[in-house]
Structure 1
Amino acid sequence: MKQSELKEFLDEKAAFYNQPKFIESDPIQIPHQFTLKEDIEIAGFLTATIAWGNRKSIINNAQRMVQLLDNAPYDFIINHSDEDLTPLASFVHRTFNGEDFIYFVKALQNIYVNHKGLEAIFLQNAEKESLQKSISEFKKIFFSIPHFPRTQKHVSDPLKNSAAKRINMFLRWMVRNDQRGVDFGIWNSLNPSQLSCPLDVHSGNIARKLGLLKRKQNDAKALFELDTNLRKLDSKDPVKYDFALFGLGVSEKF
């Protein structure tokens, strides 16, 4: 397939899947319950953190997280007492447990109180065509207060060769704003051209079938290769093709 044909094919698929109906079966429905910027950020970040495994299970458990935060994530993060954290101890999603959840609440409080919020941290280390350094620096700040070492595995580090699929997905949600009603686009200080594709088994397999990716492992090197090729198709909004790769892989079994 010529590059012009590939672009036309993927543009068509991206437009088809990037529609409000996409929300109904996707974890992005959880932050879509909110209107306050900080509520959307926190619900989105927590949902993305547990976004691996069965999608129905992800949605159900992300909904439970929000309920445990009294359906007011930002207010809970800022104003919780130690007593308020006790019910969170029962939470579990695969290897993410109540201990991890409680730490995430404390770390987010530290970020909003002492670091001007999530958007400010990612902006601080943003590069022209990449937020991967931002993710790595974010992880350092996120774990800058006392924590159990095991909890660190729930935030990936691209500079240690991780594709960081979940946090790249979260960034897509926050930064992209194409007026289609799926992604939020509430972080105006960052640009869609800086985003990286959330690379997982499905998007990786489809990318290889289409000749967008040769590397076999789904790691940071593969992500750089995929990003480079997607930017050739659309330098301003390369991550819109995540909808195409996801749809082709999950919905069409391409």
Structure 2
Amino acid sequence: MDLSIKDFLDKKYLEYNQPDFIPHDPICIPHQFHKKQDIEIMGFIASILAWGQRKTIINKCNELIDRMDGAPHDFILNHQDQDLKQLLGFKHRTFNDTDLLYFISFFNYHYQRFESLEDAFLISPSEKFETMEIALNNFKAYFFSLADFPLRTKKHVSSPFQKSTCKRLNMFMRWMVRKDNRGVDFGIWTRIQPKDLICPCDVHVERVGRKFGLIQSEKVNWKTAIELTENLKDFDPLDPVKYDFALFGLGVFEGLQ
């Protein structure tokens, strides 16, 4: 373990993991809510839409909240068919109203059966969390288990099976699972532990991770995210993904490459 790198990343983790980080990041979307299911729903959607300029992502998510009358969980469970017309025309990059309507269908199906979206990541014969790889693969299969899913929508939900880094899903999992007193991540899920998380590996995190020798593999895929996380466990085996704050902050706000 290089203690100088650990000390530096610990410092940057504390610097960026604070409430001032929230307003300019997509995590500000679920922070508008107090109800657990609203946090889950808008956290998931905000993470899925998190590509492009962050200001645009935040604006589009706020538009969607307005289209759902400011109460996503209530809208999803209690809408009438005519209410869905409010969602028509929604678009963010390649995500459109066809995709959105299926998301609503899935959430309606799920929340009629379960209290929390956490259950969707515990779909296994044992009904217990095994590994994040298994959880994300099973989640995608479950998410698209409804008979009428549009084929075009599958591209918006990644999985390790596709060798994707699953950056957006891993970011969402960090938001829901990580527990600290810093005020950014929610920590509202208890059956999945912070030690089981995989670091979200976007272009900024990847570049900074390589600079610190935390990534050696040439390709960028699921194995890259695993490699990065395993190396971060040398610094904190119980909460390796806390260093996402440091790596992301160094790449985005300080331009480290």
Normalised TM-score (structure 2)? 0.95
CA contact (8 A) 2:47 2:171 kept: yes
- Distance in 2 between residues matched to 1:69 and 1:217, nearest whole Å: 40
- For 1:46-78, what per-residue CA distance to the aligned partner results, in whole angstroms no more than 9, with x for missing partners? 111100111111110111111111110110111
- Does residue 1:44 correspond to 2:43, yes or no? yes
**How far apart are residue 218 of structure 1 and its match?**
2.2
Aligned to 2:175: 173
* Residue 250 (structure 1) shift: 0.1
Contact 1:200 / 1:218 at 8 angstroms: preserved in 2?
no
Query: Following the alignment from structure 2 to structure 1, what is the Cα–Cα distance between the partners of residues 28 and 98?
Result: 25
Gaps of 5+ in 1: none
CA distance in 1, matches of 2:218, 2:205: 12
Q: Deviation at 1:198?
A: 0.7
Tell me, yes or no, if structure 1 residue 25 matches structure 2 residue 24.
Answer: yes
Partner SS, residue 238 of structure 2: coil
The reply to whether residue 232 of structure 1 matches residue 231 of structure 2 is no
Name the structure 1 match of 2:80.
81
Q: Which amino acid aligns with 1:136?
A: N
Report if the CA contact (8 A) 1:31-1:43 is conserved: yes
Opposite residue 53 of structure 1, the aligned amino acid is G
- CA displacement 1:141-181 (0-9 Å, x = unmatched): 11111111010100001122111000110010000111100
Q: Structure 1 residues 112-121 or 88-97, which shifts more?
A: 112-121
Aligned to 1:196: 198
Residues 92-131 of structure 1 aligned to structure 2 (within 5 Å): 92-125=91-124, 127=129, 130-131=131-132
Distance of 1:154 and 1:147 partners within structure 2: 12
Q: Give the partner amino acid of 1:104.
A: F
Question: SS of 1:189's equivalent?
Answer: coil
Q: CA deviation at 1:116?
A: 4.7
CA distance in structure 1 between the aligned counterparts of 2:95 and 2:61, rounded to whole angstroms: 11
Given that 1:127 and 1:194 are in contact with CA atoms closer than 8 Å, whether structure 2 keeps it comes out as no
SS of the residue corresponding to residue 233 of structure 2 reads helix
Question: How far apart, in 2, do the equivalents of 1:120 and 1:147 lie?
Answer: 20
Q: Percent identity?
A: 49
* SS of residue in 1 equivalent to 2:237: coil
Contact 1:198 1:242 in 2 (8 A): yes
Query: How much does 1:217 deviate?
Result: 2.6
CA RMSD of aligned residues (A): 1.3
* Equivalent pair of 2:68/2:86 in contact (CA under 8 Å): no
Task: Give the number of equivalent residue pairs.
Answer: 252
